[in-house]
Amino acid sequence: MKRPVLISICIITIMLFCFPLFAQEQLMTKLFFDNWLRKATSPLEEQIRQLQAAYAGMEQTAREIRSRLSTEIKVIIGQTTAYIEGKPTPIDVAPLISNGRTMVPVRFIGETFGARFSWDEKTQKVTYTMDDLIIELFIGKTAVRVNEKNVTIDAAPVILNGRTMVPVRFVGQHMGASFEWDGEQQAVTIFR
């Protein structure tokens, strides 16, 4: 009987001495894994930081390009000076208010935005072409064709000093521009 008890005591003693080693081995394994994981992911984290910085740079570049692609034109009622991006530019005919509508020179506005124009004397038609947009204006008529679709505008185009004048609302609605009215200065700012 002494022998099984002695064997049991030996086994228990060995377990008591070895258990802390097993626990320490687990701690060392976790420590080893944490270090390995940190070393393995640090290059990825650095790449993520570099990508974030590159993305921020691309966003800034995109904002700068958008600002260069948009154009701001300011015209003042009764004045033959317009302002393109804040720079004074002479225009042939001053914007005016007629029957409660602000009329602007369509050619000046359109060419500033990059459009091409043609004039048909016989039909009194101005054709405005820009990218995939084709607008046909008929002097004295509120009927307009936009990409071969008939549209009615609130005031007919008129010729003043050899220039076609159209309502600024038309510019905003059909030429892809927006505008702001400054009643105090009697000025219209057109953005596209």
Name the residue type at position 71. T
Torsion of CA 178, 104, 97, 79, to 10 degrees: 110
CB atoms under 10 Å from CB of 179, counted, come to: 19
For residue 28, what pLDDT is reported?
58
**CA torsion angle 174 177 183 187 (round to 10):** -110
What sign does the dihedral 93-81-156-124 (CA atoms) show?
A: positive
CATH fold of 72-191? Copper Amine Oxidase; Chain A, domain 1 (3.30.457)
- pLDDT of 148 reads 92
In tens digits, the chain (192 residues) has pLDDT values of 567 766 777 677 666 555 555 555 555 577 888 888 888 888 888 999 999 999 988 888 876 776 666 788 899 999 999 999 889 999 999 999 988 888 888 888 888 888 888 889 999 999 988 888 899 999 999 999 999 999 998 889 999 888 889 888 877 777 778 888 898 999 998 887
Residue type, position 104, single letter = V
* pLDDT at position 17: 58
Helix or strand (DSSP H, E) at 74 = strand 72-76
Helix (H, G, I), strand (E, B) or coil at 98: strand
Q: From CA 158, how far away is CA 148, in angstroms rounded?
A: 21
Q: What is the CA radius of gyration of the chain?
A: 38
Which amino acid, one-letter code, is at 4?
P
Query: Six-digit token pair at 163?
Result: 């220039």
| CA-wise closest residue to 113 among 191, 33, 23 | 191
- What pLDDT does 140 receive? 93
- Residue 186 to residue 75: CA distance in whole angstroms: 9
Contact (CB, 8 A) for 120 and 127: yes
What does the domain layout of the chain look like in residue ranges? 1-69, 72-191
